Amino acid sequence: MRQLASRLAVMSGEGALSVYARAKELEAEGRSIIHLELGEPDFHPAAEVLQAAKDALDAGKDRYCPVQGVPELRQEIAAYMARTRNLRVPPGNIVLAPGCKIALFLALMALLEPGDEVLYPDPGFPGYPSITRGFGGVAVPYELAERNRLQPDPEEVARKITSRTKVLITCSPNNPTGTVYTDEVQRALAELAVKHDLLVLSDEIYARIIFGGAYQSMLSYPGMAERTFIIDGFSKSFAMTGWRLGYTVAPERFVTALDLLAVNSYTCVAEFTQWAAIEALRDAQGATPRMVREFERRHQQFIADLNRIPGFRCLPPEGAFYAWVNIADTGVTAEELCRIMLEEAGVAAISGAAFGDAGRDFVRFSFASSNATLKEATERIQKVSAAWSAAIARR
């Protein structure tokens, strides 16, 4: 029998989705499960966004539309980039996609030749190494280590650059660590990119979800406009995960290639969702800042509660909505710990190895749930922590 293409063997799935499947099984058996595994805001889009989608459908905006996206939305994204990131990007350099993941996928498809090396954060979004390998690239991790407060170490990145390095992926705020890269780190990474003529994929999907300070895009550093692809979208900042809406801001010389890949894959993004997205960006009622304030309130309580669980150690995240907990002191593996939490306490979280080797001793909890639910989750974990705290006491 004929076999699948070999690229499938080097690609991988996502840990969150398999934990979710098991959690759903337990729920079907009647168990109460607290879902802290998925990277999905527990909010829905603002009322005016929903209304704009309905109005667009009523107005017959359900046709094929321009491949790069409707011009009005690209204008609005350019204005949004200026307002939230102080960037001047021409609307012509923006290409809409059905989600950031596809934007990332097609950018890497456009750029990678077999053997090209891609530097990516570890721990990081699992798609980076998987998609890289799928296109014949070599995925080279750089670590976000606790000793560096989960920041990239530019010296390590510099050591890992070779003549085959073509792309540097950055993600600030980072999933799963919540790290917002410092200005110093970003500047050093930008200097390396310019020096070694690297292209940078700056995944800015969590850019709006930061707890203090202004967001600084990788594109804003000297020499970066001609080499930076911003990947952003509506899933997180506007709680629109299921709408499948993302975009790339690309240097001008790459736009035709992204357009060609769009033509060959999705043709265009659903038209009525694009009209609704304009309202999301305008955010007349301030829905995004309100959601971010709520995440900030929750994380203060949740991180403190997690740090009270025996063997748990968690630095406060600076953005996104994840708690990244070092569990090495529990004496059990992250996989076993997640199994105990799910099967015995009904709390679903993801073992850190799902985000790369550097995540081996960590567990990721999403705090996209109400304070009461988060409180109950930590209480449930406290109750089952005897399973490992006795071992800690003996050491």
Ligand X SMILES: Cc1ncc(COP(=O)(O)O)c(C=O)c1O
Partnered with residue 232 across adjacent β-strands are 247
For the bound state, the minimum distance from the C-beta of residue 289 to ligand X, rounded and expressed in Å, comes to: 20
Q: Which stretch binds ligand X (CB under 6 A): 99-107, 139-147, 178-186, 248-256?
A: 99-107
For the bound state, the minimum distance from the C-beta of residue 302 to ligand X, rounded and expressed in Å, comes to: 19
Please say whether the beta carbons of 278 and 76 come within 8 A: yes
In whole angstroms, give the CA distance from residue 160 to residue 246.
30
Q: Which stretch binds ligand X (CB under 6 A): 98-106, 155-163, 266-274, 323-331?
A: 98-106
For the bound state, the minimum distance from the C-beta of residue 277 to ligand X, rounded and expressed in Å, comes to: 12
Binding residues among 164-223 for ligand X as defined by CB under 6 A: 171, 175, 203, 205
Q: Which of 69, 99, 121, 317 binds ligand X (CB under 6 A)?
A: 99
In this complex, which beta carbon is closest to ligand X, that of residue 241 or of residue 301?
Answer: 241
For the bound state, the minimum distance from the C-beta of residue 395 to ligand X, rounded and expressed in Å, comes to: 35
Partnered with residue 169 across adjacent β-strands are 201
Q: Which of 12, 130, 182, 241 binds ligand X (CB under 6 A)?
A: 241
Both tokens of 271, joined, read 């038209």
Both tokens of 71, joined, read 């011009």
Binding mask 310-329 for ligand X (x = CB under 6 A): --------------------
For the bound state, the minimum distance from the C-beta of residue 316 to ligand X, rounded and expressed in Å, comes to: 19
Per-residue b or e along 306-344, where b marks 16 or more CB atoms closer than 10 Å to that residue's CB: beebbbbbbbebbbbbbbbbbbeebbbebeebbebbbee
352 binds ligand X (CB under 6 A): no
Q: How many CA atoms lie within 13 Å of 377's alpha carbon, on the beta-carbon side?
A: 29
Q: Which stretch binds ligand X (CB under 6 A): 42-50, 97-105, 177-185, 384-392?
A: 97-105
Number of residues that bind ligand X (CB under 6 A): 13
Q: Which of 34, 36, 100, 341 binds ligand X (CB under 6 A)?
A: 100
In this complex, which beta carbon is closest to ligand X, that of residue 106 or of residue 309?
Answer: 106
233 binds ligand X (CB under 6 A): yes
359 binds ligand X (CB under 6 A): no
For the bound state, the minimum distance from the C-beta of residue 32 to ligand X, rounded and expressed in Å, comes to: 25
Q: Which of 101, 208, 227, 299 binds ligand X (CB under 6 A)?
A: 101
In whole angstroms, give the CA distance from residue 317 to residue 367.
11
For the bound state, the minimum distance from the C-beta of residue 382 to ligand X, rounded and expressed in Å, comes to: 28
Binding residues among 370-389 for ligand X as defined by CB under 6 A: none
Binding residues among 24-43 for ligand X as defined by CB under 6 A: 39
Among residues 11, 35, 127, the alpha carbon closest in space to that of 364 is found at 35
For the bound state, the minimum distance from the C-beta of residue 252 to ligand X, rounded and expressed in Å, comes to: 24
**CA 323 to the chain's CA centroid:** 14
In this complex, which beta carbon is closest to ligand X, that of residue 104 or of residue 157?
Answer: 104
In this complex, which beta carbon is closest to ligand X, that of residue 78 or of residue 269?
Answer: 269
152 binds ligand X (CB under 6 A): no
Partnered with residue 132 across adjacent β-strands are none
Among residues 368, 68, 74, the alpha carbon closest in space to that of 241 is found at 368
For the bound state, the minimum distance from the C-beta of residue 179 to ligand X, rounded and expressed in Å, comes to: 12
Binding residues among 121-150 for ligand X as defined by CB under 6 A: 125
In this complex, which beta carbon is closest to ligand X, that of residue 255 or of residue 350?
Answer: 350
246 binds ligand X (CB under 6 A): yes
For the bound state, the minimum distance from the C-beta of residue 202 to ligand X, rounded and expressed in Å, comes to: 11
Which sign does the torsion angle of CA 113, 139, 206, 37 carry?
positive
For the bound state, the minimum distance from the C-beta of residue 330 to ligand X, rounded and expressed in Å, comes to: 26
In the block, tokens 């917002």 appear at: 180
Binding residues vs ligand X (CB under 6 A): 39, 99-101, 125, 171, 175, 203, 205, 233, 235, 241, 246
